[in-house]
């Protein structure tokens, strides 16, 4: 396999990757660690050594604790709902005998969309006074005599519905891609056996399909969690922290701290995010590795 | 099939039952996908409507304004520039990521090299370092060049990361060039190419670059197309980094922050224009996804391994 021997050639081929990875991944990580141990206000300003104080302050700061908790809550809501809905749509596509690829493309279109587009659509559709979602829902609730505050700038619960539904909608497409692929790998003999056993679809789903594609589900749960920690920023940004900072999710909190010029504190917060995302990525690699050995998907 | 059971429902043949259940499936799926597409459908409809209509009533239909909202977004709100800039950015990221990854995978598979596992691990680890984690130091790297001597006083860094990177295409694009996913997938794929090919090539005196271009690349067409599509869509959809690094939104700006900045001003509701902007922002990656759907879907689902 390793047919070519000249090491300088190999190094030459690796140089662009090494430079890009070094300058834009590892150097920023080192620098973030340095900055998180300094008290710096604004770039270029004299900084003073601050030790681990940013971290100890953050650990006892109730606002930051809320922010971390809100991130996990957000990830939990978005990941579970988008995976359940994605699985249901995937099963429908999987059982389709004709036009399967047409339906697949129609179902995964949100993969190609950005979170910024989602944020813009949501801002318009959920607009407190003229949004079509808001108006329709208000009309329906009005018929049964319920009046709710459907303003995401003042109602914390509705603000959470706003960010969670946006995240779910955007992530469904990604989930369906993997789920349909995994379902397609289930051996035909198993379907044949199920048909003969006459299992109902709920039982099939819970006792056959879900266990069969569990490596994919585990992978998706972790990747989705990491994604909802940082990629959802444009949706969360719309709320500017939400009514009385109730939607102050970590990624927004970092950017807001950074915008205030509190470089050291923002770096410390980004290190916390890194530890969380890094931990999840580690778990994901460990799981894929484990399943790969057992010949799973 | 001969082994199939008798129909469990009286009066229905196997064929009718099967046909019926497929029809039900089609209907369920069409309804589900309709609900999923509702935000896009509303956006398309609203983008054709004059402003007053959207504000005054929530009746939804195709409006009388036709394409005028699109024209306004393009000419007044700078979307012509955004579209071009974003296209250049996404294309450069797509080609750059795949090209750089091809070279790296070539080195990792076809060369004997010390510390291979360590290099692989270091590349793999970058998956845990998404842009938001690096945003503060990356901004410093690009922006605070003047004060750089305060933090890292070597001429190499001052030379490489001059503040002139702010507000430029290289400043926008370069941080996205490395791709752990592409390198790992290409490496996996190269390893599946038969050993005898490279042996033969070597015996024939074919150099590594020619081997890469005339043997490996043609054999990896589908994966290269898939990786390009993923990287292009990823690049097109970037928001946070362009928002930070580009100050001159008017001439250098890209489409995602541009769209976010398009908000309704008091007294002048721009909903139709905003929706036209959103449609233009989403249509490019969507079309690319539809064209390259087969290699792209195949490549994405390989990521799990």
What φ, ψ does residue A131 adopt, rounded to 5°? -65, 140
The CA distances from residue B283 to A106, B126, B148, in Å, are: 14, 30, 41
When pLDDT is averaged across residues B35-51 and rounded to a whole number, the result is: 89
Q: Is A38 helix (H, G, I), strand (E, B) or coil?
A: strand
The distance of A244 to chain B (nearest Cα, Å) reads 23
Per CATH, the number for B77-302 is: 1.10.3720.10
- The answer to whether residue A194 sits within a structural domain is yes
- The answer to whether residue A19 sits within a structural domain is no
When pLDDT is averaged across residues A147-151 and rounded to a whole number, the result is: 88
Which chain B residues have a beta carbon less than 8 Å from that of A225?
Answer: none
Give CA–CA dist B296/A70, Å, rounded: 34
Give CA–CA dist A52/A15, Å, rounded: 35
- The answer to whether residue A104 sits within a structural domain is yes
CA angle A247, A252, A258 (to 5 degrees): 140
pLDDT at B2: 41
When pLDDT is averaged across residues B236-240 and rounded to a whole number, the result is: 93
Residue of B nearest to A229 (CA): B132
pLDDT at B102: 96
Using the predicted structure, report yes or no on whether residue A14 has a pLDDT greater than 90.
yes
| Chain-chain contact of A20 with B100 (C-beta, under 8 angstroms) | yes
- The answer to whether residue A37 sits within a structural domain is no
pLDDT at A215: 87
pLDDT at B267: 56
Using the predicted structure, report yes or no on whether residue B155 has a pLDDT greater than 60.
no
| Chain-chain contact of A117 with B144 (C-beta, under 8 angstroms) | no
Give CA–CA dist B180/A281, Å, rounded: 13
Torsion-angle region of B57 (φ positive above 0: left; ψ -120 to 50: alpha; else: beta): beta
Which chain B residues have a beta carbon less than 8 Å from that of A263?
Answer: 136, 140
First to last CA, chain B: 36
Flag whether residue B8 sits within 8 Å of chain A, measured between CB atoms: yes
On the CB side of B81, CA atoms within 13 Å amount to 14
Using the predicted structure, report yes or no on whether residue B59 has a pLDDT greater than 80.
no
Residue carrying structure tokens 């970058």 = B126
Residue carrying structure tokens 């060039």 = B177
pLDDT at B91: 97
**Is A244 within 8 Å of A236 (Cβ atoms)?**
no
Give CA–CA dist B145/B165, Å, rounded: 9
Domain residues for the domain of A169 are 58-293
ipTM associated with this complex: 0.90
Give the ranges where B126-220 is alpha helix by DSSP (H): 131-143, 148-151, 155-160, 169-173, 180-192, 195-203, 208-211, 217-219
Residue carrying structure tokens 């389709």 = A96
Lowest mean pLDDT among B110-119, B199-208, B211-220: B199-208
Is the pLDDT higher at A249 or at A6? A249
Give CA–CA dist B106/B117, Å, rounded: 15
- The answer to whether residue A41 sits within a structural domain is no
pLDDT at B114: 86
Which chain B residues have a beta carbon less than 8 Å from that of A137?
Answer: none
Flag whether residue B129 sits within 8 Å of chain A, measured between CB atoms: yes
Using the predicted structure, report yes or no on whether residue B161 has a pLDDT greater than 60.
no
Closest CA to A14 of B113, B131, B191, B127: B113
The distance of B246 to chain A (nearest Cα, Å) reads 15
- Given B5, B133, B177, which is nearest A20 (Cβ)? B177
Global confidence as pTM: 0.89
The distance of A2 to chain B (nearest Cα, Å) reads 4
pLDDT at A293: 44
Domain chopping of chain B, boundaries: 77-302
CB contacts under 8 A, B 181-240 vs A, are 183, 191, 195, 198-199, 201-202, 208, 233, 236-240
Q: In total, how many domains does chain A have?
A: 1
pLDDT at B156: 39
When pLDDT is averaged across residues B201-225 and rounded to a whole number, the result is: 89
Closest CA to B128 of A130, A22, A274: A274
Which chain B residues have a beta carbon less than 8 Å from that of A109?
Answer: 37, 40, 286, 289
Give CA–CA dist A236/A255, Å, rounded: 11
Which chain A residues have a beta carbon less than 8 Å from that of B107?
Answer: 9-11, 13-14
pLDDT at B162: 52
| Chain-chain contact of B274 with A282 (C-beta, under 8 angstroms) | no
B11 band by pLDDT with thresholds 50, 70 and 90: low
* CATH at A104: 1.10.3720.10
Is the pLDDT higher at B267 or at A52? A52
Lowest mean pLDDT among B102-116, B172-186, B195-209, B282-296: B195-209
Give CA–CA dist A131/A122, Å, rounded: 9
CB burial of residue A241 (10 Å; 0-12, 13-18, 19+)? middle
Instruction: Work out the mean pLDDT of chain A and round it to a whole number.
Output: 87
- The answer to whether residue A263 sits within a structural domain is yes
Is the pLDDT higher at A296 or at A141? A141
Using the predicted structure, report yes or no on whether residue A171 has a pLDDT greater than 60.
yes
Using the predicted structure, report yes or no on whether residue B54 has a pLDDT greater than 70.
no
What is the rounded (10 degree) CA torsion for A209, A229, B294, A297?
-40
DSSP letter string, B32-96: HHHHHHHHHHHHHHHTTS-HHHHHH----S--TTTTHHHHHHHHTS-HHHHHHHHHHHHHHHHHH
- The answer to whether residue A202 sits within a structural domain is yes
**Is A39 within 8 Å of A47 (Cβ atoms)?**
yes
Using the predicted structure, report yes or no on whether residue B270 has a pLDDT greater than 60.
yes
Closest CA to A219 of A296, A106, A122, A104: A296
Give CA–CA dist B67/B176, Å, rounded: 35
User: How much of chain B, in percent, has pLDDT values that exceed 90?
Assistant: 42
Instruction: Work out the mean pLDDT of chain B and round it to a whole number.
Output: 82
pLDDT (tens digit per residue) in A228-287: 988 888 999 899 988 989 999 999 999 888 888 788 888 899 999 989 988 888 888 787
């Amino acid at each position: 396999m390793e047919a070519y021997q000249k090491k300088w050639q190999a190094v030459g081929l690796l140089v662009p990757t090494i430079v890009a990875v070094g300058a834009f991944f590892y150097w920023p990580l080192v620098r973030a660690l340095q900055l998180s141990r300094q008290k710096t206000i604004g770039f270029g300003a004299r900084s003073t050594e601050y030790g681990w104080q940013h971290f100890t302050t953050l650990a006892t700061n109730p606002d930051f604790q809320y922010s971390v908790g809100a991130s996990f809550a957000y990830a939990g809501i978005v990941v579970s709902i988008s995976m359940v809905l994605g699985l249901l749509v995937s099963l429908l596509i999987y059982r389709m005998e004709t036009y399967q690829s047409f339906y697949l493309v129609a179902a995964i279109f949100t993969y190609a969309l950005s979170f910024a587009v989602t944020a813009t659509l949501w801002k318009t559709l959920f607009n407190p006074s003229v949004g079509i979602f808001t108006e329709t829902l208000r009309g329906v609730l009005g018929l049964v005599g319920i009046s709710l505050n459907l303003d995401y700038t003042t109602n914390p619960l509705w603000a959470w519905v706003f960010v969670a539904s946006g995240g779910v909608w955007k992530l469904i497409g990604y989930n369906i891609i993997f789920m349909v692929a995994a379902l397609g790998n289930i051996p035909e003999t198993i379907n044949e056996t199920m048909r003969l056993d006459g299992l109902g679809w709920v039982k099939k789903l819970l006792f056959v399909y879900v266990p069969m594609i569990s490596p994919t589900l585990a992978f998706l749960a972790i990747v989705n969690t990491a994604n909802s920690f940082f990629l959802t920023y444009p949706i969360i940004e719309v709320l500017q922290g939400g009514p009385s900072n109730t939607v102050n999710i970590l990624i927004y909190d970092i950017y807001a701290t950074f915008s205030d010029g509190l470089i050291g504190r923002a770096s410390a917060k980004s290190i916390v995010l890194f530890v969380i995302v890094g931990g999840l990525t580690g778990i994901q690699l460990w799981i894929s590795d484990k399943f790969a050995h057992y010949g799973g998907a | 099939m001969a082994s199939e059971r008798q129909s469990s429902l009286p009066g229905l043949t196997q064929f009718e039952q099967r046909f019926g259940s497929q029809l039900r499936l089609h209907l369920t799926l069409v309804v589900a996908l309709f609900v999923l597409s509702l935000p896009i459908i509303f956006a398309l409809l609203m983008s054709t409507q004059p402003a007053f209509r959207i504000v005054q009533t929530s009746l939804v239909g195709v409006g009388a304004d036709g394409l005028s909202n699109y024209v306004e977004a393009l000419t007044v709100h700078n979307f012509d520039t955004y579209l071009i800039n974003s296209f250049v950015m996404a294309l450069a990221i797509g080609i750059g990521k795949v090209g750089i990854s091809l070279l790296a995978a070539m080195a990792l598979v076809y060369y004997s090299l010390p510390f291979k596992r360590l290099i692989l691990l270091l590349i793999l680890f970058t998956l845990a370092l998404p842009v938001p984690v690096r945003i503060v130091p990356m901004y410093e790297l690009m922006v605070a060049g003047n004060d750089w001597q305060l933090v890292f006083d070597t001429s190499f860094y001052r030379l490489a990361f001059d503040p002139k990177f702010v507000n430029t295409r290289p400043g926008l694009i370069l941080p996205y060039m490395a791709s752990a996913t592409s390198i790992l997938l290409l490496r996996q794929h190269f390893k599946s190419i038969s050993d005898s090919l490279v042996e033969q090539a070597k015996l024939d005196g074919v150099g590594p670059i020619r081997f890469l271009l005339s043997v490996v690349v043609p054999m990896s067409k589908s994966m290269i197309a898939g990786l390009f599509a993923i990287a292009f869509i990823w690049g097109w959809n970037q928001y946070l980094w362009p928002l930070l690094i580009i100050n001159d939104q008017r001439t250098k700006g890209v489409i995602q922050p541009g769209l976010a900045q398009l908000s309704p001003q008091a007294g002048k509701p721009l909903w139709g224009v905003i929706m036209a902007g959103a449609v233009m922002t989403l249509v490019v990656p969507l079309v690319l996804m539809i064209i390259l759907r087969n290699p792209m879907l195949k490549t994405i689902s390989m990521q799990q391994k």
